[in-house]
Chain A
Amino acid sequence: MTGGDGGRSRGMEMLRWLLRRYGAMPFAEAEAAVLASEELSPLRTPAELRVAMLGLRRDGVLLAARNRWGDRTLYLPAEELAAWHSLLFAAVPEPLPFGERIVTAEGPARCPGPRGRAPLSRQLLRTWADLRRRGGLPLTANGALHRARAAKLAEAMELAPQELAPLLGAAAADDAAIQAALFLAIELGSELGVLGRTVGAIEAGSGDGWSGFDGTMEELDALLHSLLVRHYAPGDPGLHFAALSLGRLEPNRWYLERETREAFGMTERQPGRAGWDAWLRAAACFGWMEFGRRGEEETIRWTVRPHVGVPGKPGELSVPSGSSVPGVADVPERPVVYVQSDLEIIVPPEVGFGMRWRLEEIAERIALDHVSTYRLTRASCENAVRLGLRPERIAETLREAAGHALPAAATGAIEDWLRDVRTGEQAEAAGHTLRRSAWLAGPLLLLPRPEPLRDCEPDGSVPSRDELFPGLAAVPPAWLAQTRRYHASTRKDMAELALAWRTSLRIEPDGGGGYSFIPESLERLGESWSLVGRVRDAANGDVAAEAVAADSVMSARGTDRVALSVDSLGAIRLELPPEPRREL
């Protein structure tokens, strides 16, 4: 065997397996090699898989770290998983054709609500706006959230604690779980620059002069998807893999769920299957995924555009806009809101978050839907002034948002309502305007995030071949180079060495032919020894039944085990996988 295409494909195969089996979680090399040979193919030797991993390490794909006791673990860097996923799982399933009859169904998520769940972006906007309307969320003397106020705010989130369990684990199941959704809202708000922490409270930024995230709600959902995948999914490799896989499907298109799973190699037997289902449920509860049925088959579709890459700074996420998909709008050049003469404001989906944040400040929300609606009222305008907005900015903001003059009924109403606002009140209100500069630096972390490499030190060393195969230097080179008839005791030594190194033996029986044999155990058989293992063809790893020696005690078909008498092995040689080449 050479280290050419076989080694290359083995490296890729191993990487695919590692990605699916461990995601960004660390693992012990030996354990992974054994598991891989069992799950990937019993006709791969752990030695080959260890060499493949060695190649991945040399190429910088796989990194190593050592814990405080000096144990080495390997891992795939989380931020590179999405890229590897798209490279290694290039074949994305085809969506079902347009016009296919799909009946929408509740699916496995069973999220409450008669009309499905609102996308997370809307739940968050509502929660953040409520937080601002209430003048922030006070912190206790020891920095904890004010419990009663937090409970009130948590009502704006539709997410139930158990729905967050797949992502947050125990944090969503303990006593504080009732507020887990709020914690999530605060963390994400802080990350996007919408919320900030002062010494005594968590506060929301002002919409006037907004400089935070300013993408559309669709982009916000994409960004939230990527943040959740990055921060919380790595703790469960199956779920993480599902998030990466499903994130590659086209939005607003139906897919057969089974076909999708199979396309990414997630069979019923895969250990990550539970994580796959958990992510589907989570995505539905975040209001991002819908379920349906085509006949008896389950179908899934994204209602948002999932993003799995690494987001940049808030507002810098680049999500492709527009689509050729029927039902998804082309984005007009300048998104505008429509201010009606009955003082209702219609906000189409392409309007950015910044404008919505401003509208939340000056108008009463009627409905947060794909198209949102607000109403301008006396109370909302007065509240905006109380929050620090200059009265004239209300009409200006709406004019900017509408892109043209407002209906006379709207300007007249604003003038009437704010005519009596005294200068003193304005000045006082201005003092309440939030100063972002007053926010404390640093992330606001309330929920546990998986930290698999906590207390680990990077380990840049790459093991030598001697480390991979202990005692290699003392082994006679002929054992590795030439297939020979050896003395029975030597054959036994070589068999034991193959077992220790978890590698294969080349066996050429006296009657002719030859095959590669993967030993699994050496058993005493009376006065002799019997080598139990699997037979494979040396060239391609497949079983070559016709080449198996006649004294096989069991059928060599498929992956069945055979037992060979050590006395009658004929010529043998130890097979070690070749040195890995730089291949990726």
Chain B
Amino acid sequence: MSTAKLPLLIQSDGTIMLEDGHPGAESARELLREIAELKKRPGDWHTYRVTPVSLWNAAAAGWTGETMMERLNELARYGVPAALEKEIRDVAGRYGSLRLKDRGSELELKVRDSLLLEELLACRGLDACWLGAPDGLSVGVRKEARGWLKRELIALGYPVVDEAGYRSGEALPVRLLAEDGTGRRIRLRDYQEEAVEAFASGRTGAGGSGVVVLPCGAGKTWVGMGALARLQCETLILTSSTVSVSQWIRELRRSTSLDEDAIGEYTGDRKEVKPVTVATYQLLTHRKSKGGSYPHWKLLSDRNWGLIIYDEVHLLPAPVFRMTADLQATRRLGLTATLVREDGREGDVFALIGPKRYDAPWRSMELMGWIAKPSCTEVRVPLTPHGVARYREAPKRQKHRIAGENPLKLAAVRRLLSRHPKQPTLIIGQYLDQLNEVAQGLSLPVITGNTPQTERQRLFDRFNRGEISVLAVSKVANFAIDLPDASIAIQISGSFGSRQEEAQRLGRILRPKQSGAGVYFYTLISDETDEVEFARKRQRFLLEQGYEYEVDWLKEEALAAEEAGT
């Protein structure tokens, strides 16, 4: 094959670009899934990054520097830069140089070469971990230092292969049901089963802790339940919001053989500690004063947990890492859509939760219809002549609101709703006045931060049952709300340039629909205003994730006429 036809462009800083439409792209994608992190996939070229953690993840899955280089050289259009080759070999070669083993009442760190052992023993910060003098190429380690030592060593650039084993935890007979209460058949999808197997056994036979990476909407909860059913032990599930706690509990009740009594909720509202307990990170890390203790940490030791599941592991707060350092004898499963953390602490995830055990092939999942591919449209709405004058004269800080509350957006919403009659639709807005006006103008129920929780739930339930097809929601919709059938989102205004908000709002409609219907994400933008640029910034994250935006311009006259007609 001519090198010109090879699919990878490899940079010396570890950036790797993959030509998505290339005949050899699938094979290259398979390789990169193992040894690199996907950074973005806009258009024809997808960008990955090789990092120390990604290389150690690959090494944990059985790759060596040599095998990685061999494959990269086969696929690189312009070769692999020497500096990167050196880094790959060096970094990957460090995996396996340190192994932690159980030695009865203590642990033992086995080191591959004496120079490295000398270097480690010379690190004064590690003194407290050691038990006695080294014996040949190994040294005793205090049991309680297991997590802390691993974290310190990875910070020094040396990952530890933890072979010290796990406690079983309290046994808990549990299985996935054959069908749920509505008669829907329950069966893990192939990739979910593979993920459970990879976590529990590991590809090199050393499973029991690690991270499963699945795209949004691919059913991470199912993998968690699958692991629970596989390990049959009491389990603590930590997640990012109370809504997510409710979602976990609902799925556990609906799809597993667990009694209601066996499932507990540990949130601000309820403090139940049951054989399977679902809690939020926020509560776990809550304390009364900045320097005070964490009163809810006792949850971790209240029961003999056999498994801890960390949902959305890329959002795991720093104090939870500290807690986790003390829980290294417990099996740990991390679930996430991305290993990339905004705070750059991927090394801590590797050291304390474990290496990546499974990373789903998102492309084939898209093809199989396991994850929805939305159609994203930016709808440009003109300002009225009066709006233009107001906008121009307004001070800079008010411009965004004037653009956001553009009254012609109501006509635009009406037009979009007429395109998708009776489809479950969310209208999401930043400004309450605007949201209320739209709700009033279209006779829609509205949920804001002021709506009581019971009323919210009532409306969510009605929406889920199909009794309401359109719901107006404020920024409460940015966070996890469980409206699995929503297939259309129309955002009428948003904060300045929050890429996270754009992704969260889109996430509301990403779960695959049983009806097989397509999903549509509309963003209304006042044309020729700052909102255009803010929208561009918001959209960049989604463009990088491979979503395409179309732009649709609406004419002022037509909208005005429509409004007059109503």
Binding site for B on A (CB under 8 A): 103-104, 114-116, 252, 290, 292, 303, 326-332, 338-344, 346, 348-349, 367, 369-371, 378, 407-409, 412-413, 416, 419
Contacts and interface: CB of A to CB of B under 8 A. Distances in A.
B267 interface: no
Interface in B456-496: none
B9 A346 contact: yes
Interface string B1-34: 0111000011111010100000000000000000
Contact of A115 (B9, B12, B40): B12
A349 B43 contact: no
Given A327-B76, A371-B9, A104 B82 contact: yes
B146 to A, nearest CB: 32
A115 B10 CA distance: 13
Given A290-B82, A338-B45, A329 B12 contact: no
Nearest to A98: B73
B524 to A, nearest CB: 16
A342 B42 contact: yes
B43 A116 contact: no
Nearest to B70: A99
B362 interface: no
A344 B12 CA distance: 19
B83 interface: yes
Contacts of A344: 42
A369 B13 contact: yes
A340 B73 contact: no
A328 B15 contact: no
A419 B527 CA distance: 12
Contact of A341 (B42, B76, B77): B42
Contact of A416 (B17, B73, B532, B550): B532
B79 A342 contact: no
A348 B6 CA distance: 13
Given A328-B3, A370-B12, A409 B79 contact: no
A346 B45 contact: yes
B110 to A, nearest CB: 25
B536 interface: yes
13 contacts: A115-B83, A116-B82, A292-B82, A328-B78, A329-B77, A330-B4, A340-B42, A341-B42, A342-B540, A342-B544, A343-B540, A348-B77, A408-B550
Contacts of B73: 326-327
B551 interface: yes
Contacts of A103: 86, 89
B13 A115 contact: yes
Main secondary structure of the interface of A (DSSP, over half): loop
Interface in B525-566: 528, 532-533, 536, 540, 543-544, 548-551
A538 B544 CA distance: 82
Contact of A329 (B40, B78, B89, B540): B78
A338 B43 contact: yes
A326 B3 contact: yes
A340 B43 contact: yes
A536 B9 CA distance: 63
- 10 A-B pairs with least C-beta separation: A327-B79, A342-B42, A115-B83, A340-B43, A330-B4, A342-B543, A116-B83, A369-B11, A371-B9, A104-B86
Nearest to B11: A369
A121 to B, nearest CB: 15
Contacts of A342: 40, 42-43, 540, 543-544
Contacts of B87: 115
Contacts of B536: 413, 416
Nearest to A349: B78
Contacts of A348: 9, 77-78
B81 interface: yes
Given A340-B43, A349-B78, A332 B17 contact: no
A57 B548 CA distance: 73
Nearest to B541: A342
Given A327-B80, A416-B532, A341 B543 contact: yes
Nearest to A323: B3
Nearest to B9: A371
Most buried by B among A115, A116, A252: A115
Contacts of A252: 79
B153 interface: no
Given A115-B84, A116-B82, A329 B4 contact: yes
Contacts of A341: 42-43, 543, 548-549
B359 interface: no
Contacts of A332: 4
Interface string B513-532: 00000000000000010001
Contacts of B533: 378, 416
Nearest to A407: B43
Contacts of A343: 540
B311 interface: no
Nearest to B543: A342
A423 B544 CA distance: 35
Contacts of A104: 82-83, 85-86
A340 B44 contact: yes
Interface string B415-429: 000000000000000
A290 B85 CA distance: 12
A197 B189 CA distance: 69
Given A303-B82, A327-B79, A340-B45, A408 B551 contact: yes
Most buried by B among A303, A331, A369: A369
A575 to B, nearest CB: 56
Given A369-B15, A370-B11, 10 more contacts: A104-B83, A115-B83, A115-B87, A252-B79, A303-B82, A326-B73, A369-B11, A407-B43, A416-B532, A416-B536
Contact of A327 (B13, B78, B549): B78
A458 B94 CA distance: 65
A328 B544 CA distance: 29
Contacts of A328: 3, 78-79
B374 to A, nearest CB: 15
Contacts of B12: 115-116, 369-370
Contacts of A330: 2-4
A183 B63 CA distance: 48
A349 B17 CA distance: 14
A416 B380 CA distance: 12
A340 to B, nearest CB: 4
